Amino acid sequence: MFLLLLIGLISTTGPTVSAAELFVLEGASVTLNATGHEDKTGLKFITWKFHKRPVVVYTHKYNDADVRDPFKGRAEFDVSTFSLLLKNLQRSDSGLYTAVWDAGETEDVAEYELSVLEPAAAPTLTVVSNWSSSDSCNVTLECTGLNVSLISSCNGTFCSQEGGDTSLSISLNHNTVSCNHSNPVSWRHTTLDLKPLCFAMSLKKGDLAPSAGMSPCLLKTLLVTVVLIAMVTAVITVHIRQKVDKAK
pTM for the whole structure: 0.65
Q: Is the peptide bond before 184 cis (omega within 30 degrees of 0)?
A: no
**pLDDT, tens digit, for every residue of 118-159?**
999 999 999 999 887 777 788 999 999 878 889 999 887 888
What are the boundaries of each domain within the chain?
15-117, 124-205
pLDDT at 94: 97
pLDDT grade for 218, boundaries at 50, 70 and 90: low
Q: Phi and psi at residue 156, in whole multiples of 5°?
A: 100, -20
Q: Which positions ≥6 away from 100 have C-beta within 8 Å?
A: 45, 46, 47, 48, 49, 106, 107, 108, 109
- Strand-strand pairing, 30-32 and 124-132: unpaired
Confidence of residue 115 (pLDDT cuts 50, 70, 90): very high
Is 46 exposed, middle or buried, given 0-12, 13-18 or 19+ CB atoms closer than 10 A?
A: buried
pLDDT for residue 10 is more than 50: no
Amino acid, res. 201: M
Write the class of the CATH domain 15-117.
mainly beta
Closest alpha carbon to 174 in 191, 188, 190 = 191
Q: How long is the chain?
A: 248
Give the pLDDT of residue 195: 84
* HSE-CB of 232 using CA atoms within 13 angstroms: 6
**C-alpha 150 chain-centroid distance:** 16
Q: What is the model's pLDDT at position 235?
A: 72
Q: How many CA atoms lie within 13 A of 75 on its CB side?
A: 26
> Beta-carbon neighbour count of residue 241 at 10 Å?
10
